[in-house]
Every structure is written in C-alpha cells, then in structure tokens.
Amino acid sequence: MRTQVAIIGGGPSGLLLAQLLHRRGIDAVVLERKTRDYVLGRIRAGVLETGLVSLMEEAGVAQRLHAEGHVHHGTRIAADGEMFQIDIHALTGKPVIVYGQTEVTRDLYDARQAAGLRTEFHVDAVQIHAADSDAPHVTYRQDGVEHRLDCDFIAGCDGFHGISRQTIPLSTRREYEKTYPFGWLGVLSRTPPVHDELIYANSDRGFALCSMRNDNLSRYYIQCALSDHPEDWTDAAFWAELRRRLPADVAANLVTGDSIEKSIAPLRSFVTEPMRWGRLFLCGDAAHIVPPTGAKGLNLAASDVHYLYNALRQFYEENDPEGIDRYSERALLRVWKAERFSWWFSGLLHRYPDQSPFDLKMQRADLAFLRDNQAQQQAFAENYVGLPY
C-alpha cells in the first residue's frame, strides 16, 4: 500500500492534519492502535483558541462547533476569597470557544468516514523505517497480518508514549522536562456549571478549576497529591474540598451530583528537539507536553498541524521544500512560548510543597499585579486566546 503522508495516531492532531490535507487533494492514511470508540472515550480539555477554530473551519468541520460551542469573552481568577475577571475579548478582540476535545475528534472522524478516507484501527507493532531517506515506510500488524505502508512523509501524532519520538536517534534528540509535585483530580458530572466562565482558583488548600462541557455537563478539578488514587475520593469528599477552595459566594451556588468520570492526571512540562528528522515530523504530545493550566495541550498540537499542513501543501503544490525545512524551527518557537505560559500560570495558582513564606507572598503579589495592571492582563489575554501562528 502507498500514500503520500502516513499519519501515526488517530487522535485530534492526526485527524485534523489528515482532513486539511484531504481538502487540498493530498492523500493520507491514518494508523490508530485503538478503536474509534476508545479514542472518543477519552475525557480531555475543551477550550479552543481562535487558531484551532480557524483550522477547523478550513478543514470544513466547524459547523457543529459553532452551533454547540460556548463562546467565552473572559475568564475568572479567584484568590483569598475574592474573584476578578480578565476580559480577554476586550483586550484582544478575540474570544475562546468551550467545546470538548472529544467533540472535535468526533467531528473529524465523521468527516473522514463520510469522505471514505482510509483509517486503519487496532494496529500494533508499528515501526518507522528509513525516515532519514527519500523512501520512508511504516510497517504494522493488524489482526495478526503484517502490512507495509510506503509514503513520502510520516507525521508522528501518536502521543508521548508513541513510537515516533523514539525513532529519532538519541544522538540527535534532546529532551527537556519538568515534573510537578502534584496532580489534578478531575470529576465530570451532569450538573449545570457553577459559573458561565471558567474559574481558576488559588487557595491555601491548593488549586481548583471550575469548567464545563455544556449547560448541563460540568468538569471540575482540584490539586491533589501524586500518591492519591481516584477511588480514595468519594464524591462527597471531592465536592466538600472543592467548596473549600472557592470564594464563598461561588461555593454557595455549586450544584453537586454523582460523578460520571473521575481521574487523576500528573502534571508535566516536556519538549523534545528537533521536531523533524528526515521525513519524519512530530506533532502534538509526541513532541511536547504542557500542564493543563490554561488548556494549551490540544491548541499547541493544532499549531503544529498548522505548520506541518502548510509545509506539505507548499511542497506538493509549489514544489517548494522551504516549509518542510523550517517546520521544526517554526513549531518550536511557538511551543516554548506556550510552555512558558503554562509553567507561569501553574506557578501562579498551585501550592508547592517547598514554598517558603516569602514564596507565598510573591505569589500573592503576582496575583494582585495581574488583577490591577492592564498591561499584565493584556499579556495574559494574548496568551490565553492563543499567540499568532
């Protein structure tokens, strides 16, 4: 079997890249180790930057997003029992849209299926061959049968634990990592959101986040110990702890209910360089991880897709390799800026075990500066809605 672009990973970044390429007549085959239902069962963040929304529009899959997504013109920061708003639309002229990553993925799968495009599910033993040559190919096993996929280019969209990053030799690859000494305990519940904007809360008991998927589906998080397990937390204990970390008037309006999903996610900042080796390109979590503070993970994957899609389009339509040659440089420039914002925002809101009284005073001063200084709010808003590609 042959294609122009082999895409390893059937998550949102791989599917978005495939759909954009399809719209320009560039053939791509997507390889996914799980099933479609498994991929759609993942619970992920859903705050979309304007750049990702524009890519969905260009891919022809933004109809449901615009019909069902919630446009947010601001966000809220809570600390010391008080709360203030940052009006991101007034500061940047742009909103964000709350629309679940699961729904983004569903829209892309539906479009791919409607177009009759090739997606191979339940593949294992994926190997990348000759990526540093002019004739790369991928081998994989499906239902016990070995397959070979020849291609011009390979897009590694297979996440942090995938094969793509590991294919780049250690002599070439350099990795940068920071692990955080806490996790996020997240609960999904069929309850109305406590507020019509996201609330990021700093408290002496730790961080909390109030988010939503729609008018009757809410997503809440609290900072927890890395040693915790979801089963350690009853629903009652979670709601009680969440209330303690919110301003009193917000806590009083919190509607609770049975959790329909509960999980703990560790926090990590991670970047690998370069993001290209020969004809292999890394996208999304295969190349970088950000803490979920500020919801940059999916959006950062989308910016990689933007650079790679335009590089491939430039190559096939104009016979110009400039975009391919500069893909890693361009993608990493934006990656590190997003990493900085997520690292800074995490430091602003969380409690760290080694924080001294001085550190806590500095954290409070930083929060007060954000609350009172328009220039700082401007910088925050520009990062929150997404830096330009």
Q: Is 306 a catalytic residue?
A: no
Q: Is 262 a catalytic residue?
A: no
Active-site residue identified among 292, 306, 309, 327: 292
DSSP state of 85: E
Q: Is 200 a catalytic residue?
A: yes
CB-based contact 289:160 (threshold 8 Å): yes
CA dist., res. 31 & res. 195, Å (int): 40
CA dist., res. 165 & res. 162, Å (int): 7
Q: Is 296 a catalytic residue?
A: yes
CB-based contact 275:287 (threshold 8 Å): yes
Q: Is 229 a catalytic residue?
A: no
A 10 A CB-CB count for 107 gives: 23
CA dist., res. 58 & res. 205, Å (int): 44
Active-site residue identified among 72, 137, 195, 306: 72
H helix or E strand, kind and range, residue 180: strand 174-189
CA dist., res. 223 & res. 49, Å (int): 24
Active-site residue identified among 195, 296, 306, 350: 296
A 10 A CB-CB count for 67 gives: 7
Give the CA distances from residue 369 to residues 87, 189, 206, 207, 235, in Å, rounded to whole numbers and listed in that order: 15, 34, 20, 19, 36
Q: Exposed, middle or buried by CB within 10 Å (0-12, 13-18, 19+), for 339? A: buried
Active-site residue identified among 99, 180, 221, 384: 384
Active-site residue identified among 99, 109, 140, 200: 200
| Catalytic residue list | 72, 200, 292, 296, 384
